[in-house]
Amino acid sequence: MDSVPVPLNVLVGPGARPVSELAAEGAARLSAGSSIAEAAYGLAARAARELLTRGTTSAMEGGLDYATLNALLLAGPAR
């Protein structure tokens, strides 16, 4: 089948093709599903392992500070 007569929704995660390719092939909506939470849990596991085994904290770099988190939560959903 070359096409479908309804909007195509695609669940994306690690290894997914780029958004531009999916859109060009007709994807109307993309969803990350649980992939973002799984990535966050992976980061938490790596950070804990690093802290316990090496005594260092470099895996924790790049996090959002409380002021940024609060601003995002107060702003509500992106539109």
- Say yes or no: 26 and 5 in one domain: yes
Look at the chain and report how many structural domains it folds into. Answer: 2
Specify the pLDDT at position 76.
76
- Note whether 15 and 28 are same-domain residues: yes
* In a shared domain, residues 43 and 78: yes
What is the DSSP annotation of 29-72?
EEE-TTHHHHHHHHHHHHHHHHHHHTS--GGGTTPPPHHHHHHH
Residues 28 and 40 in one domain: no
- At residue 79, the pLDDT reads 55
24 and 51 together in one domain: no
Global pTM exceeds 0.75? no
Range of the domain at 13: 1-33
Query: Per-residue pLDDT tens for 7-61?
Result: 899 999 999 999 999 999 999 999 999 999 999 999 999 999 999 999 999 999 9
